[in-house]
Amino acid sequence: MSAPTSGAVDPRIVSAAAHWSHRFVSNGVPLADFQDVTGSITRWEDWCSAWTDRGAVHESLGDASLDRGHRLSAGEHYTTAAVCHHFGKFLFVHDREQMRGTHMRAVAARQKALALIDCPGERVEIDWNGHTLAGILRKPAGVARPALVIMVMGLDSAKEEMHSNEEVFLRRGLATLSFDGPGQGEAEYDLPIHPAYEEPVAAVVDYLATRKDIDADRLAVWGVSLGGYYAPRAAAFVDRLCACVSLTGPFDFAEAFDRAPPLTREAFIARSFAAGEEAAREVAARMTLEGVAGRIRCPVYIVGAALDRVLPADHAGRLARSVGGESVLNMIEDGTHVANNRPYKYRTQVGDWLADLLAT
């Protein structure tokens, strides 16, 4: 499939392809699918439906595998379908109805996969201030009452995108709970972004304390991108957390807001329920670790990416210098945002670090 000439392509497609290609592939979208979809459309208005169509291809493959009794293959196809649908909706905030329809297909596809994949998962629902936060809990095979990593989403990520990240921890004997907090995933339609993110994380910790199959005395929090602010914020206030990982997060989001790509700013405006950019900046101004990071006493692993064009690269160092306890700074000099172009330089390292810290 040949790509349209660059002059005919909506700059939002060009921006999304330039900023997010490594993320799509490292989180489960086949490279050929990424090239086919981004190369076949010229209008941003067609982005969501094009990814929905590609997700449907993988759903059909999953259905066919399941009909033949090949459960593992079906689970893999449904997982890929979920990621394709997720990336159709992740920044498509201008068409809320279409975005939500594709989002629900991602949720449904991932739900189908959970019973079929290695280290099966279950959907969990957590009460927070009278609202329900949806999550996916997965446990490693053969480990009784494992330690667990609470996985915190970013501005445009959701639990359906987390499969490849979860696998890193599961292979090392750690359970995972990926959840959609306020302003994220399934919660984004009813709840705005919540700067005091320690509150929903505390609700997750309370929920985990009720589980007999999880060791709630060995919990870590991991956050990606904007979740790289949320996770340290939670670690500063929730003393039941034993470790924290911040993956290319902002130290002060007000500084980052105007530097972010336009699609990212639009998503923040929509998910903060702000009336416009000025109102969104007021929310962003409340999202700082200044005066907060010093409260963090648990060990913190911080990943920075020197070539980050979405969030300021120097914010990782600011966090490392500000925490009140032990920190490890892994600055990836050739890494772009979330270092998705160099996942081998942080994923296994973070997995091993947490596995060692949370070992019984």
Across 244-257, average pLDDT: 96
Residue 19's pLDDT band (cuts 50, 70, 90): confident
Contact by Cβ (8 Å): 316, 246: yes
**Confidence at residue 1, expressed as pLDDT on a 0 to 100 scale:** 36
On the question of a common fold for 1-117 and 119-360, the answer reads no
Contact by Cβ (8 Å): 182, 156: no
Residue 212 confidence (pLDDT) above 70: yes
Report strand pairing: 131-138 vs 175-179. antiparallel
In the chain, where are the structural domains located? 1-117, 119-360
Across 23-44, average pLDDT: 96
- Read off the pLDDT of residues 99-123 as tens digits, 9 standing for 90 and up: 999 999 999 999 999 999 999 999 9
pTM across the whole model: 0.96
Task: Starting at the earlier edge strand, list the strands of the sheet with 300-305.
Answer: 121-128, 131-138, 175-179, 148-152, 219-224, 243-247, 300-305, 327-332
Task: Select from 285, 283, 341 the least CA-distant residue to 310.
Answer: 341
Q: CATH number of the domain at 1-117, please?
A: 1.20.1440.110
- Read off the pLDDT of residues 276-319 as tens digits, 9 standing for 90 and up: 999 999 999 999 999 999 999 999 999 999 999 899 999 999 99
Across 228-250, average pLDDT: 98
**Confidence at residue 7, expressed as pLDDT on a 0 to 100 scale:** 59
Task: Select from 181, 176, 179 the least CA-distant residue to 165.
Answer: 176
Across 216-233, average pLDDT: 98
Copy the structure tokens of residue 39: 């190369």
CATH class as words, domain 119-360: alpha beta
Residue 8's pLDDT band (cuts 50, 70, 90): confident
| Dihedral angle of Cα 98, 152, 136, 112, to the nearest 10 degrees | 40
Copy the structure tokens of residue 102: 């594709």
Across 346-354, average pLDDT: 98
Backbone angles phi, psi at 2, to 5 degrees: -85, 145
Contact by Cβ (8 Å): 175, 139: yes
Q: pLDDT over 70 for what percent of the chain?
A: 98
Copy the structure tokens of residue 45: 């208005």
Which position has the token pair 């296994």?
Answer: 348
